[in-house]
Structure 1
Amino acid sequence: MLTTRLDLARIRAARRDIDPIFLDTPLYQCDALGRELGCTVSIKLETANPVRSFKARGTELFATLLAGHGGTAAVCASAGNLGQALGWSGRRRGLDVTVVASRRAPAAKLDRIHALGAELELVDGDFEAARERAVSIAQQRGVRLLEDSLDIETCEGAATIGLELADRAPSFDAVLIALGGGAMATGVGYVLKTLSPDVEVICVQPLGAPALTRSWHQRRVVTTDSTDTIADGVAGRYPIPAVLDDLLAVADDAVLVREASIVTGMRMLLERAGQVVEPSAALGVAAVLEDRDRFAGRHVATIICGSNVDLDAYHHWVRT
């Protein structure tokens, strides 16, 4: 039995609190992409919802519990997607939502946070600076702080993706999961290792933001002084110890990929699957590109986790 913070019964129950619009996202075998990569590839489209990422699965749980206990406000730090998701879930439940983000976050993500009615505060520095400011706001205002990956709702919300994959898992040899703070990797990994233990769970992170991958390999928290990647959604520097413990229990491997492979993966998803994705969503494809022999002849599934991308930057990347 796996020893983690997650619970399968709670994950199954979570489906009742998550708006069905975020559940049962498309999952299909993409033959054109598979022919290009030399293996069978299925893609799970977590972009097919109002906030264009998987994050709302977790914020739906969080906002339901907060409102149910009489809470009226919440604050989070976000690279962009979590803020949109919390704005969407909070607005539906009458919560006042504040999102703290880096000024360097993609403008498209910041604009959508505004559009959802959340208060947006920008800080200099990276995501870690935003996280420090969010903690300060929560203390000053006496409101609930949502910490992605640390708050179990974010992990167990994401874990409902695993339930949907597990229904088809006998056909998969491996599932490739983008690794940032760890909510999706620990959630999906936990469900798969509980229900379909033969499926290999492989986490993928950019070489320019390697903190949690290095931590997994060294079995201790490893921090970095900076990040350097276009995959802003997974660019953390300080892994959370409890999340690392969960990840060690459910991940079979954690790999790092180069920026050039991420860009190629984005281009291939556009040309072979018709999907405009943000860099984090192409990490699984990048992992296959960098180790074709490992995946040759196998059936891999990869989670397309977000499509909130700045179009000017996107056009530059895919045309380079």
Structure 2
Amino acid sequence: MPLPHRVTLARVEEAARTIDPVFLDTPQYSCEALGELIGVHLLLKVETLGPIRSFKGRGADFLVSQVNDDRPLLCASAGNLGQAMAYACRKRGVGLTVYASTRANHLKLDRIRALGARVVLHGEDFDAAKLEAARVAAEGNARLVVDSLDIETLEGAATIGLELLKLPQPLDVVLVALGNGALFNGIARVMKARSPGTRVVAVGAQGAPAMIESWQAGRVIEHERVNTIADGLAVRVPIPEALEDMQGLVDDVHLVSEEVILRAMRLIHEHAGLVVEPSAAVGVAALLEHTDLYRGRAVGTVLCGGNLTPEQMRLWLGPVLEVQA
């Protein structure tokens, strides 16, 4: 018998009542132009228009709302969780230190600092920064917040699933980016409970396959390094609890190439007028790589973040911008 899932629908509904409304009820609509190009009925759920341009505001705001002691908070982040935590902590007067890698997106780091949090750079990737944050928290009087382990991060992300249920017709498939797991596991938990006919597909980057490989193998598989532009998916060391959360929720998985992620970003910009980061484009990338699997079906995907530096925009979206000019 499978273990009961850590996420309960009652808590997800509580999160939807508690989270700052600025993060809720984000746009979700049929993108006809891009859908016709791919050959699907495409629904985009846009999480990039709020104050931190990322879905992580939901889980962070719910988590900080539940804090009931005076300890400062620590977290590790590739950038978006750090911004979300900084926003929520500033609102409630809670101290926060964010650990990030020396290669982290400088736009995201600047925004974390502007929101009042302290930033410590350590190591060459997210997992190295997370290990340092855990060490410091263990030695001091601080709480370490771990995305996808702390249940509030899943409960907040799961509110996206509640909003998808408001669509006039249920989706045949929802393609969800798989990083540490909060976004996928939160949404999938709601969809499996309330829309069981909807297939839920996890999408990762070929250059960071640890989560999907671990789920396929039924055990944690770690990698020495990652190599992907999708920094939000660049997990080397999966969280065991996140893998356990995936049990019974995954209908299929895809690992998409860097080349197709870039193509998806450009098509989203060209046909939807939206700037998204690589992690947010992997659902569309999966459609481009596996068109025959989804042709003619109603497919949704979550554009989960949109924090690009000007240099990244020129490098990755430059061909589209030049054509439009």
Unaligned residue ranges in structure 1 (runs of 5+): none
Q: State the TM-score, normalized to the length of structure 2.
A: 0.95
The residue that corresponds to 1:259 in the other structure is 258
1:192 matched to 2:220? The reply is: no
Query: 1:314: Cα distance to partner?
Result: 2.3
Determine the C-alpha separation between the residues in 2 that align with 1:208 and 1:46.
24
Q: Percentage identity across aligned positions?
A: 48
CA 213–140 in structure 1, closer or farther in 2 if over 3 Å, else same: same
The residue that corresponds to 2:128 in the other structure is 129
Query: 1:169: Cα distance to partner?
Result: 7.4
SS at structure 1 position matched to 2:18:
coil
Determine the C-alpha separation between the residues in 1 that align with 2:13 and 2:169.
19
Counterpart amino acid of 2:182?
A: A
Counterpart amino acid of 1:13?
A: E
1:25 matched to 2:51? The reply is: no
Does the Cα contact within 8 Å between 2:71 and 2:141 map onto a contact in 1? no
- Please give the root-mean-square deviation of Cα atoms over the aligned residues, in Å: 1.3
Determine the C-alpha separation between the residues in 2 that align with 1:258 and 1:127.
20
Does the Cα contact within 8 Å between 1:75 and 1:138 map onto a contact in 2? yes
CA 169–233 in structure 1, closer or farther in 2 if over 3 Å, else same: farther
Unaligned residue ranges in structure 2 (runs of 5+): 320-325
CA 151–18 in structure 1, closer or farther in 2 if over 3 Å, else same: same
SS at structure 1 position matched to 2:60:
helix
Query: 1:19: Cα distance to partner?
Result: 0.2
Determine the C-alpha separation between the residues in 2 that align with 1:180 and 1:230.
13
Does the Cα contact within 8 Å between 2:174 and 2:199 map onto a contact in 1? yes
Determine the C-alpha separation between the residues in 1 that align with 2:289 and 2:168.
24
Query: 1:248: Cα distance to partner?
Result: 2.0
Counterpart amino acid of 1:120?
A: V
Does the Cα contact within 8 Å between 2:72 and 2:141 map onto a contact in 1? no
1:218-257 superposed matches below 5 A: 218-257=217-256
Give the stretch that moved more between structures: 305-314 or 155-164: 305-314
1:2-41 superposed matches below 5 A: 3-41=4-42
Counterpart amino acid of 1:58?
A: G
Determine the C-alpha separation between the residues in 2 that align with 1:195 and 1:313.
39
SS at structure 2 position matched to 1:15:
helix
Does the Cα contact within 8 Å between 2:214 and 2:220 map onto a contact in 1? yes
Determine the C-alpha separation between the residues in 1 that align with 2:276 and 2:299.
19
1:105-116 superposed matches below 5 A: 105-116=104-115
The residue that corresponds to 2:214 in the other structure is 215
Does the Cα contact within 8 Å between 2:40 and 2:298 map onto a contact in 1? yes
The residue that corresponds to 1:78 in the other structure is 77
SS at structure 2 position matched to 1:111:
helix
Counterpart amino acid of 2:294?
A: F
The residue that corresponds to 1:58 in the other structure is 59
CA 230–264 in structure 1, closer or farther in 2 if over 3 Å, else same: same
Determine the C-alpha separation between the residues in 1 that align with 2:253 and 2:168.
20
Determine the C-alpha separation between the residues in 1 that align with 2:286 and 2:33.
17
Query: 1:4: Cα distance to partner?
Result: 1.3
Counterpart amino acid of 1:26?
A: P
Does the Cα contact within 8 Å between 1:108 and 1:310 map onto a contact in 2? yes
Determine the C-alpha separation between the residues in 1 that align with 2:143 and 2:103.
25
Give the stretch that moved more between structures: 214-223 or 231-240: 214-223
Determine the C-alpha separation between the residues in 1 that align with 2:317 and 2:15.
37
Counterpart amino acid of 1:59?
A: A
1:43 matched to 2:38? The reply is: no
Counterpart amino acid of 2:99?
A: V
Determine the C-alpha separation between the residues in 2 that align with 1:3 and 1:215.
20
The residue that corresponds to 1:171 in the other structure is 170
Determine the C-alpha separation between the residues in 2 that align with 1:186 and 1:290.
23
